[in-house]
Chains A and B, each alone.
Chain A
Amino acid sequence: MNLRLELTRFLSLGYVLSSSFMFWMGLSLFTDCHSPIVVVLSGSMEPAFQRGDILFLWNRNEKNNVGDVVVYEVAGKSIPIVHRVLKQHYDRSTGEQLLLTKGDNNNGDDVPLYARGNYYLNKTKDVVGTVKGYIPQLGYVTIWISENKYAKFGLLGLLALSSLISSED
């Protein structure tokens, strides 16, 4: 057991963690969006987006156009929703914008998903970001890990095993 070696290892671990945290926060600042990269969790936008697709968001736009795909969060519901803007009403004097959204694969619009008594979303309050970029399927790993307990333990086991192996050389 070499104390210096262990400390160096600890330091490099800290370096990896802090640099990924800084990357995420930097991206978050740059896009003005609290989660600039999201994974699609539902099939309501098929065939455009499937479960597991990765989306890159941008939130520095003042207003959205009809046809934009936005990610929004409804107060009191934890899961963000990715749907397309169907209607928009923008007030140039106050800068406020009301949006109505709909999933491409759904029959009706999103009013039943909104907070009780709301018939529109508020751009500044509810919208997390507008989808700008797309990579298919790569995010399925995160869904798999979060929904399958064997995958979770398997991954932990693999990590433990690799740390054992690497400490031998």
Chain B
Amino acid sequence: MFSLNQRFQHVSSLALSCSFLVIALIAATSWLQLVKDNVFELESQLSHIRSATRFAKQKRYGGSAVNPTEVSKIRFNADFDFSRLFNWNTKQVFAYVTAEYEGDENPHTMNEITIWDKIIPSRDNATFTLSDIDAKYQLWDLESKITERPLTFKLHWNIQPWFGFLINGETTGSKTIELKKPVDKQKGK
């Protein structure tokens, strides 16, 4: 009646469903813990955002010799504490600062660009006080201008779990500024 094969199948299917139940429990309880810790309204401070803008003719930036693109380098200060994002189901937190803005020549576009990011592997290194740091990525748009329009800078996070769902959120401290026009002589043509 009960062959070795049947026993094996029975045990393995039981093990499989039990482990999936445990995984579901881990994912659900860690989500509840995040809600309880109120992480979806984490505070952050972005300040002292300043820029240096140049003109680029490379195709990579969407520029050409005739119509170069503005490419901005950003420096900024940031202050945040992501230790509440860490619980038993957090493998890493990915922190990133973005600039959000509307299109200028084409007002229908909505744009968002990462200027800085950081992989945070553990709770011990989740508090940051950054002053006067260089952004990792330069800022340029599909249009040739990026300066002189309101850009909203914001710090976001993304939790990479051990099991289950990836969770995204943003912090409350956002900052809207306009970048200064480049003081430049060699604006092509």
Contacts and interface: CB of A to CB of B under 8 A. Distances in A.
Do A and B come together as binding partners? yes
A91 B158 CA distance: 25
Interface residues on A, range: 20 to 34
Interface of A: 47-49, 65-69, 84, 86-94, 98, 104, 111, 119, 131-136, 162, 165-166, 169
B91 interface: yes
Interface string B105-122: 010111111100001010
Q: Chain A interface mostly helix, strand, loop or mixed?
A: mixed
Nearest to A87: B113
B88 interface: no
Contacts of B111: 87-90
Contact of A86 (B92, B110, B137, B168): B137
A94 B166 CA distance: 29
A166 B119 contact: no
B5 interface: yes
Nearest to A56: B165
30 contacts: A47-B91, A48-B91, A48-B92, A48-B94, A48-B119, A48-B160, A66-B96, A66-B112, A66-B113, A67-B94, A67-B98, A67-B158, A69-B166, A86-B113, A86-B137, A87-B113, A87-B114, A88-B112, A89-B109, A89-B141, A91-B106, A91-B109, A92-B110, A119-B60, A131-B166, A132-B165, A133-B166, A134-B166, A135-B163, A166-B3
A47 to B, nearest CB: 6
Interface string B42-72: 0000000000000000011010000000000
B168 A68 contact: yes
B96 A92 contact: no
Interface string B1-29: 00101000000000000000001000000
A87 B112 contact: yes
Interface residues of B, number: 34
Nearest to A55: B166
B112 A136 contact: no
Nearest to A93: B108
Contacts of B106: 91
Contacts of A131: 166
Contacts, number: 82
B166 A90 contact: no
Given A88-B111, A135-B163, A119 B62 contact: yes
A121 to B, nearest CB: 14
Given A67-B114, A136-B162, A165-B5, A47 B168 contact: no
Contacts of A68: 168
Contacts of B150: none
Q: Report which residue of A87, A111, A132 has the largest number of chain B beta carbons within 10 angstroms of its beta carbon.
A: A87
B164 A134 contact: yes
A25 B160 CA distance: 28
Contacts of B110: 89-90, 92
A134 B163 contact: yes
Contacts of A136: 162-163
Interface string B140-172: 011000000000000010101111111010000
A92 B102 CA distance: 11
Contacts of A135: 23, 163
Contacts of A65: 112, 168
The 5 closest A-B pairs by CB, nearest first: A93-B108, A48-B160, A66-B112, A92-B108, A87-B113
